[in-house]
Every structure is written in C-alpha cells, then in structure tokens.
Amino acid sequence: MQPFRSVLLAAAAGAVTLAAQAQTKWDLPAAYPATNFHTENLTQFASDVDKATGGKLKITVHPNASLFKANEIKRAVQGGQAQIGEVLLVNFENENPIYGADGIPFLAASYAESKKLAAAQKPVLDKLLGAQGMMLLYTVPWPPQGIYVKKEIGSVADMRGLKWRAYSPATAKIAELIGAQPVTIQAAELSQALATGVVESYMSSGSTGYDSKTYESIKYWYDTQAWLPKNAVIVNKKAFEALDKPTQDAVLKAAAEAEERGWKISQEKNDWYKKALAEKGMKIMTPPAKLTADLKQVGTVMLADWQKKAGADGQAVIDAYNKK
C-alpha cells in the first residue's frame, strides 16, 4: 500500500511541476492610469485570458507608462522586451502615415465614422505590424477630441501664441497651423506640465482632462468632436506563436470581446466624463461656428498633406472608408 501511495504522490507532484512549467507570463505595458477606461478594459482582458486558459497565460498590465514610456511601447513589443502592449496609434505617424489616419481632424469625427475608419485601416495595419513581427489584437477609440483652453475663444486666431500640449505629430501640426507653440507631452506627464505652466491649452478627450485633473488649471473645454484616436493592443508574433492553439484561441476570443466592450464603454464614458468635468467646475462649450469652420480648414490641409505622404496604402484606407 505504502509504496503505491508514494508513487501516486510523486505523480501528483510531477503534474504540479509540469503545470507550473507550462505557465506563460506576459508583460503588458500601457501608458494611461490604472483607472482609465482603456486600462480597466485591459485588466478585464487579462483576467478573461487567465480564466479561459485555467491560469496558463498570465498577463500583467503595467499602467501609467510604468514599464515603458508611451512612445517606447511599440518598439518594446517588436523587440520582445514586452510580449504584448497597448499603444496610441497616432503616436507613430512619423514612422508610417497609416498610423496617423485616425488623427486627421474631421476625417472621422463620430463613433460611427470612427468604426468605419477602423475597419478601413485594419488590413493595412495588419500588414504593417505583420512586417514588423507583430499582430494587431484590437483597437478602442478615445472619446472625441475637444479643446482645453483658459479663456473663451471664438476662432483659431484666439489661440495664437498659446503654449500648446501635443501628444502626437498631428496635434503638433495643428499647433503649427493655428500659430500656437507645441510641446509634446504624453498623458503620464500632463498633470505636472499643466501645474507648472509648461502648457496652457491642448486638444484631447474629456477622459484625459479628467485623468490629469486639467480642471484645476483650465476652465473651458470646447466640444469640437474633431477626431477619435485609437489605442491598439499589439502582440509580438513569436510570443503569440509560442502559445499552444487553445491558448492562442483564448487570447483572440478575449481580444474580440475587449474590442466590443471597449468601443461601448468609450461611448458611454464620453458623456460621463463631460458631466464629471462640469461637476469639477469646467465649462463644457459648444464651439462657435467660426471656430468649427477654422478647424475644418485645418483638417482639410492636414488630410491633403497626409494623402500625399501616405501614398497607395493611404489611398486604400480612404477609398475603403468612403465606400462603406
């Protein structure tokens, strides 16, 4: 009896060891605070993968640019320093204009349009990221972008000379076109830049205004609904291919669910953020007609510029977008 029991025990111990060996750990660097809706969605995604794989794939979300800075996350995933990561696509427009398609003012300015643009952009993004040894898992848009500014404005001329926070090549370009002074600052450093007066205006969603406590220094937000930039969750292809098939399937399924959930939450939270900012004392402004007309002109210039740079791939995205 006794020897038989110890054989069983030994076998059980062996199984435990095997299970432990079969566990894969992935790091997921992200650039936004843990309480941001994108990050909460990532956390849910990680927990869904954990459950679906019985703990075989453990994904640790590192929020707030704690593991890699916003602009470094893409390269980290490409090089395998992180197996998976969340990036703001428009940050990489200088590398390839396709990444900037969802940062062009008024090309896609509502959730419905943004969804169409995402679908039009996807095949080209798959190709680009694929060529860099990565895969696109899912995208989720930020709420529509508006203008944070300290005084009431009637047109873009009223923003001339302002110290303007940019988060992307396109938001720096807007500053250039309206005669503001751009300083590129990612979300993780925004609160401090506002508090120290390094910047006094910027364009972003209600979400980032809320996260960064912009209401402490800026009182107006113009709801221009100019564009909806997307976060993308990308994975290193070798890391993905190293997973067994059921685990790969679990990742893809959880990603598809995260995408659907994320789009819905973004839209719901858009209204919530506006209310929350108003409660903190901000004035949520409907942009005057002249301001909108001026910004649309900026958008027209930027789209023409972008199309020139983006070539055939860019044209494919615009054609697919216009067809739907």
| Phi, psi dihedrals of residue 138, rounded to the nearest 5° | -165, 165
Alpha carbon distance 6, 75 (integer Å)? 50
Strand, coil or helix: what is 81?
coil
Q: With respect to ligand PCA, which residue has the nearer C-beta, 239 or 295? A: 295
For ligand PCA, the closer of residues 65 and 250 by Cβ is: 65
For ligand PCA, the binding residue among 46, 104, 128, 187 (CB under 6 A) is: 187
State which residue, 53 or 208, has the beta carbon closest to ligand PCA. 208
Residue 207 sits in the site that holds ligand PCA (CB under 6 A): yes
Identify each DSSP E strand in 9-99 by its residue range: 24-29, 57-62, 84-88
- Determine which residue in the list 37, 138, 167, 321 makes contact with ligand PCA, applying CB under 6 A: 167
Residue of 30, 67, 88, 98 that binds ligand PCA (CB under 6 A): 88
Tell me the per-residue interface mask from 234 to 273 with ligand PCA, x by CB under 6 A, - otherwise: ----------------------------------------
| CA 122 centroid distance within chain | 15
CB of 205 to ligand PCA, least distance (A): 3
CA separation for the pair 147, 57 (Å, rounded): 41
Looking at beta carbons only, is 99 or 167 nearer to ligand PCA? 167
d(CA 85, CA 177): 32
The residue (of 2 and 196) whose beta carbon lies closer to ligand PCA is 196
SS3 93: coil
Rule CB under 6 A: choose which of 111, 142, 210, 321 binds ligand PCA.
Answer: 142
Nearest distance from C-beta of residue 249 to ligand PCA, angstroms: 31
**By CB under 6 A, which span of 123-131, 200-208, 257-265, 307-315 interacts with ligand PCA?**
200-208
By CB under 6 A, residue 205 contacts ligand PCA: yes
Q: By C-alpha distance, which of 53, 50, 3 is closest to 28?
A: 50
CB proximity list for 130: less than 8 A, separation 6 or greater: 237
Q: What span, in angstroms and rounded, lies between the C-alpha atoms of 218 and 283?
A: 9
CB of 207 to ligand PCA, least distance (A): 5
**Residue 114 touching ligand PCA (CB under 6 A):** no
Residue number with CB closer to ligand PCA (135 or 194): 194
Dist CA 63 CA 262 (whole Å): 17
Q: What is the C-alpha to C-alpha distance for residues 53 and 111, in angstroms, rounded to an integer?
A: 33
Contact stretch for ligand PCA (CB under 6 A) within 20-28, 203-211, 234-242, 284-292 = 203-211
Compute φ and ψ for 221, nearest 5 degrees.
Answer: -130, 120
Q: Which of 226, 230, 37, 38 is nearest to 148 (CA)?
A: 226
Q: Which residues contact 306 (CB under 8 A, 6 or more apart)?
A: 97, 100, 101, 104, 314
Task: Fill in the DSSP letter of residue 288.
Answer: P
Contact with ligand PCA (CB under 6 A): which of 97, 100, 146, 229? 229
Residue in 53, 83, 139, 208 binding ligand PCA, rule: CB under 6 A: 208
Q: Tell me if 204 contacts ligand PCA by CB under 6 A.
A: yes
Which amino acid makes up residue 318?
Answer: I
226 lies in the binding site for ligand PCA (CB under 6 A): no
Distance CA 125, CA 313 (A): 10
Interactions with ligand PCA, residue window 45-64 (CB under 6 A) = none
Residues at the site binding ligand PCA, with contacts judged by CB under 6 A = 88, 142, 167, 187, 204-205, 207-208, 229
